[in-house]
A and B are shown apart, each in its own frame.
Chain A
Amino acid sequence: MDAAHGPTAALITNYVFPNDLHVHWSMMIVLYPYITGLVDGAFIIAALYYLFDIKSLKPVARFSLLFALAFLCCATLPLLLHLGRPERNLNMLLTPSPSSAMAGFGYIYAVSMGVLVFIVLFVYRPDLVELRATSKGWLQMLYRALTFDSIDLSDSAMAFDRKIIRFLVGIGIPIAAVLHGYVGFIFGGVKANPTWSTPLMPVIFLFSACVSGISAIILAYIVIRKLKGRSIDHGCIKTCVKTLTLFFILAFTFEMLEVFSHSYLKSGYHHMVEGLLNGPLASSFWLWQVKICSVIPLIILGVMGLFNIRKSLYNFMAAVVSAILLLQVLIMRWNVVIGGQLMSKSARGYTEFHPEWFDKEGILAVIIIMALPFIILFVLSRIFPFWAAGNESNVK
């Protein structure tokens, strides 16, 4: 430890247990909560429209569902790449191990996927029935399968569909909360790691998930509409930004509460945690996660909420703040997952992590995994149109 780490340095002589030198959970385990978080946040937007009747979110409601589906399809990939023996992954999904938090993954993931797929199919049923009539060949077969071979679009059938959608979204919210809260609990349940083992962990993960997902929807909506040369629904963006502001205030408050309670309580591992945040994580935590990616967005969101800003500038600011917040959540995942492991269980020192480019869990793999959902989203857009013609009606 060098003197730059302040008074804590005097207490830490940098002894790392011999088996702690290697960081076992690396970038893939950073991506996993990031991707499930995007799914959760996107789902929240859809839920606000379909369950809570926030009408202004209509333009992005369907898109959010597809966005969530595309990312949920890829949520298992980082885990698969991370496993030492990926060919045994079915052991993980099928072995009942009630004592293990991780063993719940298969069940929670399968239920989330099932519910989301059914929501998408029911939400899109009128479009799919229409597309089925106009398409030919294998595409028609596909639409026939996706509509369960039903072409009934009568008022009573549609009313029944709406009931089913509300029911599915209704159970989808707790499932989405469980999916991501559970990811937080995987970390929160590790008592051997003082930066992880806090009951706040699932809460922090859940709120930051909502932040990342809503940001992703705002950014994707604005970018896709701009690229396609189509109008942007200002009311929709405004509601999204307000929701984002609420969730970000909650997420940031809990993130900071965790740090400040550690430092105020000065409990057993205070010096280790303090030394970690002021030492190896000084740049990625204080500078990037807190100052650049949290305080600046808070100021921007404050300005957007308090002042009257013309629409084009408002949309631009929304896109910028969303991009920063997407980065914030990614850095936060990094600081929790990798940062937490930099602290040796010897409580006397820190190890280092250097990402590699071409490793199985390297930077290239990260880029590919993050690109895949967008390819899936593109494929989905060929089957399920993002924007219905009706959506354009309330666009000013």
Chain B
Amino acid sequence: MKMLEASPEMNRRSFVKKVLNGTLAGSLYLVWPMGGDSLEAPEQIPGIKDREYDIHNQEFAFIVDVTRCIGCGSCCVADKREYNVPDGNYRTWVERYVKGYSDQIYVDCPNGGLDGYQDPRTDIDEKIRDTFFLPKLCNMCKEAPCVQVCPVGATFKSPDGFVLVDEKRCVGCAYCIQACPYSVRFIHPVKKVVEKCTWCYHRVRKGLLPACVEVCPTGARKFGSMKDETSEVYQILKGPGVLTVLRKEMGTFPALYYKGARREVI
């Protein structure tokens, strides 16, 4: 009730003061960096941010460390949110492999692994020898069959090695879906054009890691530049460890490598 009795001049003055203070402080904050750059994106891939991007002199690699994946599904959730991926279609997914003592392999992938693997499989009658999770995404093939078969050039390979889709040119014939040995492509149910994992090209161009890599809590997904000799992917790929690619017999030469993938993996 006291507020109502106070003179209106006083209130107006204090209000104007506060607005001026706020404006001044806000302007200072914008023009005068005070150590923390909370308004700017971090530099997750060194050498890209605030530099001229030489598109013809780039090489990137993606490594999935199967031994580290815990099947939490965070990568799938991050991917779905990054691209608003329609239900029932998957730009990336995580499979669960179970190997029995009879050497029988049981694979499942309920809802693309989006919900995480919280419960064990109960439908396997034999004693289980081994189990692991296998994240899948675009292999960014150096000899990409999808690029080869696209009749309108909508699927193309960028000079920096990314297989991308121009959704303004795609006619939705699905020939690339047939040609992809890894089944990473689908027809978007609303746009009626093909869609697939891009390794978050829009983020990479800003020096950011792909969304799935950023959220992975165990470092099972690794991404980096092969031009940067200090990057983790460079170190792994140049090191002595055994890396494999999916379906080598297809002759697609993927830029996606797997560390610790069993021979049963397809």
Contact = CB atoms under 8 A, between A and B. Distances in A.
Contacts of B175: 100, 102, 186
Q: Nearest 3 CB-CB pairs, A to B?
A: A84-B172, A84-B192, A15-B107
Interface string A80-95: 0011111011011001
B116 interface: no
Contact of B105 (A13, A95, A268): A13
Interface stretch (B6-14, B26-34, B181-189, B220-228): B181-189
B180 interface: yes
Contacts of A193: 178
B184 A19 contact: yes
Contact of A190 (B147, B173, B178, B184): B178
A25 B149 contact: no
A20 interface: yes
B173 A83 contact: yes
A268 B247 CA distance: 12
A18 B249 contact: no
B212 to A, nearest CB: 15
A24 B148 contact: no
Chain B interface size, as a band, is 35 or more
A99 interface: yes
Main secondary structure of the interface of B (DSSP, over half): loop
Most B CB within 10 A of own CB, among A10, A84, A99: A84
A341 B183 CA distance: 12
Interface string A262-282: 000000100000000000000
B186 A19 contact: yes
Contacts of B106: 13, 15
Interface stretch (B56-64, B150-158, B234-242): B150-158
A362 interface: no
A91 B152 CA distance: 6
Nearest to A345: B183
A18 B179 contact: no
19 contacts: A10-B104, A18-B90, A18-B112, A18-B183, A21-B88, A22-B186, A83-B172, A86-B171, A89-B171, A92-B152, A92-B171, A100-B148, A100-B151, A100-B175, A186-B175, A191-B250, A192-B181, A341-B178, A348-B105
Contacts of B169: 88, 91
B156 to A, nearest CB: 10
A319 B147 CA distance: 46
A341 B90 CA distance: 18
Given A83-B171, A85-B172, A103 B152 contact: yes
Contact of B150 (A19, A85, A100, A344): A100
A52 interface: no
A268 to B, nearest CB: 7
Chain A interface size, as a band, is 35 or more
Contacts of A13: 104-107
Most B CB within 10 A of own CB, among A10, A15, A21, A99: A15
Main secondary structure of the interface of A (DSSP, over half): loop
A46 B85 CA distance: 53
Given A15-B108, A190-B179, A192-B250, A103 B151 contact: yes
A155 B148 CA distance: 53
A20 B178 contact: no
Given A191-B250, A344-B183, A348-B266, A19 B89 contact: yes
B249 A268 contact: yes
A388 to B, nearest CB: 42
A15 B249 CA distance: 21
Given A15-B108, A88-B169, A192-B178, 8 more contacts: A15-B95, A15-B107, A24-B178, A103-B152, A190-B149, A190-B179, A347-B266, A348-B105
B164 to A, nearest CB: 16
B66 interface: no
Nearest to B106: A13
B109 interface: yes
A329 to B, nearest CB: 22
